[in-house]
Structure 1
Amino acid sequence: MDLETLKIDLKGLEEGVNHLEFDLDDTYFKEVDAPEVSQGSVHVSLDIVRTGEDFFTLDFHLAGIVMVPCDVCLEPMEQSIEAIERLEAKFGTENSEEDDLVTVAEDEGILDVAWYLYEFIALAIPIKHVHAPGKCNPAMVRALEEYSAARSGEEDEQAMDPRWEALLKLKK
């Protein structure tokens, strides 16, 4: 996917609703070159409502799959995402951004939504992403179990610090 297709000529839009669709693929994620997601397939449906000469409401609907590392085994996994986001844009003297209002330089009239799309995708990824039970890398799961057992003291019991013992007595 060529990122140039994500540059929207706001001046060329008709008054009322304008509908655009994009399919973001691995090429898009590599071009954006951001850390969280480097692969995926996301469909974007964008409705741009032009009201008056210089005000625009952009309604994004994103749905698809991105590849993220599993929190348990660190192997890549497919994570489905869906998001509905809104931006408002207006023409001004220079490009600027304030909350959900984007000011586009009137002499250019071009709004590049490539990075906004990436941010929407990154925000749609759940905080915790883990393979379905039994799908994690078995070697990594064994290593985690081994180190978890060693850390929890199952292998070699050490004498507990007397201060902790006293605190445990208070808990009872």
Structure 2
Amino acid sequence: MKPLKEFTIPFVGLKQGLHQFNYQIGNAFFEHFEYDDFNASAIIVDLEFTKKTTMFELHFKAKGTVNVNCDVTNEPFDLEISNNFFLVIKFGEVYNDENEEILIIPYGEYEINVQQYIYELIVLGVPSKRVHPGVEDGTLQSDILQKLEELSLKEETLENDSEETDPRWDKLKNLLNDK
């Protein structure tokens, strides 16, 4: 995958101290990763890049909305997401990203691309189960919800079934209670 230029930070020319980077993330960003779970997205990622003498500290903050389909009704809705991530970059002999909070890059590097970290920050900020807020509070009117209600077992039928029992089963139930 080819890195996107706007997410490459050339840290050689930066002075020591805090530097701010802001990114507007839309659907084109996710199309680059071939990720199509979002119908639409409007996310702002703020990156605080702190350059120190021997390392860099990166603090990512993502906030915005993604339009996803509900897992229950398949109705699209806007889901608010908010997530943050802290990364330390150090220099070493070879590239090493085994630890998720520490990245070691070779001494000769002069820039770092943060697009993969932003992608993971956003995708992991979305809950695994996406339920439309109208389903939770009962205000959503949908054909799927009406069909689910029609097909669900009614309490009345369960009560009628319990009243009409075979007397042989009643004797067996008494065995459990007679302990």
1:92 is aligned to 92
Q: 20-29 or 89-98: which moved more? A: 89-98
**Equivalent residue for 2:143, pick from 139, 142, 155:** 139
Shift of residue 36 of structure 1?
4.3
Kept after mapping to 2: 8 A contact 1:89/1:104: yes
| SS of residue in 1 equivalent to 2:105 | strand
Bigger strand share: 1
How far apart, in 2, do the equivalents of 1:81 and 1:93 lie? 37
How far apart, in 1, do the equivalents of 2:92 and 2:128 lie? 37
Shift of residue 82 of structure 1?
1.4
Identity %: 25
What are the ranges of 5 or more consecutive residues in structure 2 without an aligned counterpart? Answer: none
Q: 120-129 or 10-19: which moved more? A: 120-129
Moved over 4 A (4+): 134-137
2:122 is aligned to 121
What are the ranges of 5 or more consecutive residues in structure 1 without an aligned counterpart? Answer: none
- CA deviations on 1:109-149 (whole Å, 9 max, x unpaired) are 33221121121112222344322325646111122223333
Shift of residue 44 of structure 1?
1.0
Residue type of the alignment partner of 1:59: H
Q: How many residues align?
A: 160
Instruction: Report the aligned-residue RMSD.
Output: 3.0
2:6 is aligned to 5
Residue type of the alignment partner of 1:107: G
1:59-78 aligned at under 5 Å gives the runs 59-78=59-78
Larger radius of gyration: 2
Shift of residue 51 of structure 1?
0.9
The 1:135–1:10 alpha-carbon spacing in structure 2 relative to 1, beyond 3 Å, is: farther
Kept after mapping to 1: 8 A contact 2:25/2:41: yes
Kept after mapping to 2: 8 A contact 1:61/1:84: yes
Q: 89-98 or 43-52: which moved more? A: 89-98
How far apart, in 2, do the equivalents of 1:38 and 1:62 lie? 18
